[in-house]
Structure 1
Amino acid sequence: MVRLPFEKGDLYITDEVIAIIAKSAIKEIDGLNRTTSRVKDQLFNIVSRTGGTRGISIMNNTHGVTIQLKVSIGYGMNIQTLCYNLQKAVKEQVELLTGIKVNAVNVCVETISIMEKNKKNLINK
């Protein structure tokens, strides 16, 4: 949770809210299939009801937040370009909507999946 002090009181923004904003930015990037998480994380998400933001972790410090993303990328996509665009989009959206400084957006590409159109191309070769 991030605390932002104001003149007449404090504003608290939960990690869940930041993760939802990040997930919204992720959906805008072509070539990303989904955020991923390990089985243990998925079980935790079911119990804690945060399954909508699985694969997204928020780490706070006094100078802002660091966002960790675990993603699945479509086969044939340029990984470096895609991840750069993802980092930029997430950083911009979180900072714009919350006013919280994003120190870093770390991206872990956990899987590559074959999208439907790529499956057809591979089969026809």
Structure 2
Amino acid sequence: MDIVNELGKIRIADEVIARIAGISASQCNGIVGMASKRATDGIVELLGMENVTKGIRVNNKEDQLTIDLYVVIKFGMSIEQTAQAVMDKVRHDMKELTGLEPTTVNVIVEGIEF
């Protein structure tokens, strides 16, 4: 994603956007971690912080920033409230840290941990 101002151009890599989104999401109450599906068997794998970006898809087209977060939620937590908290936190942190405002933040719940 490029930001242009009077001083020049700033380019923020999708990997950086994904890492910020992953850290923000993991700080929300009820989130166990990011999830990654193994393509061969459809089993959800819980990712550690070193692989947090594998559970996030960033789409940057025509100045439209879309972030998809694949998460695992704690059992007993409201899925709707937890997902909304993640969306709000990711939007806030992205704006605060990069100046970018995501057009869409999607939270895909891949699993629940007991």
| Pairwise same-fold verdict (TM > 0.5) | yes
Q: Which runs of 4+ in 1 moved over 6 A?
A: none
Shift of 1:30: 1.3
Higher strand fraction (1 or 2):
2
- Give the whole-Å Cα distance in 1 for the aligned partners of 2:5 and 2:31: 37
Count of residues in correspondence between the two structures: 104
1:44 paired residue number: none
Shift of 1:38: 1.4
What is the TM-score of this pair, normalised by structure 1?
0.77
What is the TM-score of this pair, normalised by structure 2?
0.84
Q: Which of the two has higher C-alpha Rg?
A: 1
Amino acid at match of 2:32: N
**Runs of at least 5 residues in structure 1 that lack an aligned partner in the other structure:** 41-49, 115-125
Q: Where does 1:12-91 land on structure 2 (aligned, <5 Å)?
A: 12-40=11-39, 51-91=51-91
2:112 paired residue number: 112
- Give the whole-Å Cα distance in 2 for the aligned partners of 1:27 and 1:109: 13
Identity %: 33
Secondary structure in 2 matching 1:82: helix
Shift of 1:6: 2.3
Shift of 1:27: 2.1
RMSD: 1.4
Shift of 1:26: 1.2
Higher helix fraction (1 or 2):
1
Q: Quick check: 1:64–1:100 contact (8 Å CA) kept in 2? A: no
- Give the whole-Å Cα distance in 2 for the aligned partners of 1:69 and 1:108: 6
- Give the whole-Å Cα distance in 1 for the aligned partners of 2:52 and 2:34: 10
